[in-house]
Structure formats: structure tokens, C-alpha cells
Amino acid sequence: MTQTEPTSSQQLGHTPRRQQILDIAADLFARRGFHGVSVAELGAACGISGPALYKHFPSKDAVLAEMLVSISERLLAEGSARAEASADPRSAIEALVEWHIEFALGHRALIVVQDRDWSSLPEDARERVRGLQRAYVDVWADQLKRAHHGLRTERAHAMAHAAFGLLNSTPHSALIPDGQMHDLLRRMALAALLPEADR
């Protein structure tokens, strides 16, 4: 229903504009905030002007919604896949950390928008994103509880949130090359998350 048409040819190829808008919007929203970017500006940045956006999205809110819902889905899908594919809790946590760093380094703008402008979402999309995020946190929390015997659920959630904070700090400091940043974040996150006995 939210898609235009689930025809056999998929929606690949007939919407480069749509994707371009999402990409550029992510960048602009990250820099100046959702409310700080007008549709005119966004359009201009895409080479078209103003109201032409409404040929691709029903509203400005919808751009934000699609952006945030889709990244929440990707984070959750790949995260839980990697966790399930792991042999033990320790390697599952390593895999989750690895995946989250990959994503955060590769999509800095989305990370910023996600936790800055989450509250600007229309009610239904906000609900959906919250559900997906909660599920993602649960994936982490489950593995943490298996790695630390006796860890309570709420504390595991808090640990996961803290880890996200650490890993998502990446857009705020682009001072060292991605490879080194990746390595640094992995080290710090694993030190913070794994029991001392393991490390």
C-alpha cells in the first residue's frame, strides 16, 4: 500500500529520483535538522524545484518516515541474521558490533537523523520505528544476557543503548580514517560489553 505498485518488474529502475531525494534529504536533515530544511531547499538540492517533490512523496513527513523506517528495518534484519548465524554469545556480540560499525560508518547521516529527528515522525511511522528499534535492542540484549549470566533484562537493554551511543558517536568525530575508527570502536565496544573473563 505504501509502495506505488508491486508489479513483476519491481520498483527498480523507474525511481532513481526517489532514491536521490532520500539520499540528499538524509544529508540535509543531518546537517540542519528536519525542521531546518524546507521542501524548496530539498527540491533545489535535487536539481528540481519545490513542489515537484510531491510527485514522488505524499508529504515532507513521508520522506522522513520512509528514510527512518527503512534503516530501522535494515539494522534489525541484518543484525538478527548475523546474531543467529553465530555459534556462541561472544561471537554473536562481536558480529553485532561489527555490523553496527559497518552501518554507522557507511551511513553517518542516517545515524544522525535517526536519533535527532525521530520525534518529528508522524504518529504511525514513529510507532513503527519504535517497534523495530525495540526489536533490534532485544537482539542485542538477548546475546548480552547469554554472555553475562544473571544479567537482568533492563540492565541488558541499558547496556545495548550505551553501546549504540558509543558506536553512533562516529559522525561527531571524523578525524581519523574509517579503517582506524572501525578498529577503535570495535575495541572499545567489546571491552565495554564482554565480561572481563572473556577478554
Least Cα distance to 157 among 138, 131, 129 occurs for 138
Please identify, using beta-carbon distances, which residue of 14 and 172 lies nearer to a second copy. Answer: 172
The binding site for a second copy (CB under 8 A) comprises: 31-33, 35-36, 115-117, 119-120, 154-155, 157-159, 161-169, 172-173, 175-176, 180-181, 184-185, 188-189, 191-193, 196, 199
Please identify, using beta-carbon distances, which residue of 60 and 148 lies nearer to DNA. Answer: 60
Decide: 147 and 93 in contact? Cβ < 8 Å: yes
Q: Is 10 in the site for DNA (CB under 7 A)?
A: no
Q: Which of 26, 30, 39, 68 binds DNA (CB under 7 A)?
A: 39
Kindly state the cell numbers that stand for 119.
Answer: 520525534
Q: Please, what is the minimum distance in Å from the beta carbon of residue 20 to a second copy? A: 24
**Which of DNA, a second copy, none does residue 17 bind (CB under 5 to 8 Å by kind)?**
DNA
Q: Which stretch binds DNA (CB under 7 A): 32-40, 147-155, 166-174, 190-198?
A: 32-40
Q: Which stretch binds DNA (CB under 7 A): 10-18, 69-77, 87-95, 144-152?
A: 10-18
Q: Which DSSP state fits 87?
A: S
Q: Which DSSP state fits 58?
A: S
Dist. CA 28–CA 25, nearest whole Å: 5
Q: Is 14 in the site for DNA (CB under 7 A)?
A: yes
Dist. CA 69–CA 85, nearest whole Å: 24
Q: Is 15 in the site for DNA (CB under 7 A)?
A: yes
Count Cβ atoms below 10 Å from residue 174 Cβ, excluding itself: 11
Least Cα distance to 62 among 34, 30, 31 occurs for 34
Decide: 137 and 196 in contact? Cβ < 8 Å: no
Residues at the site binding DNA, with contacts judged by CB under 7 A: 14-15, 17, 35, 37-41, 43, 48-52, 54-56, 58-61
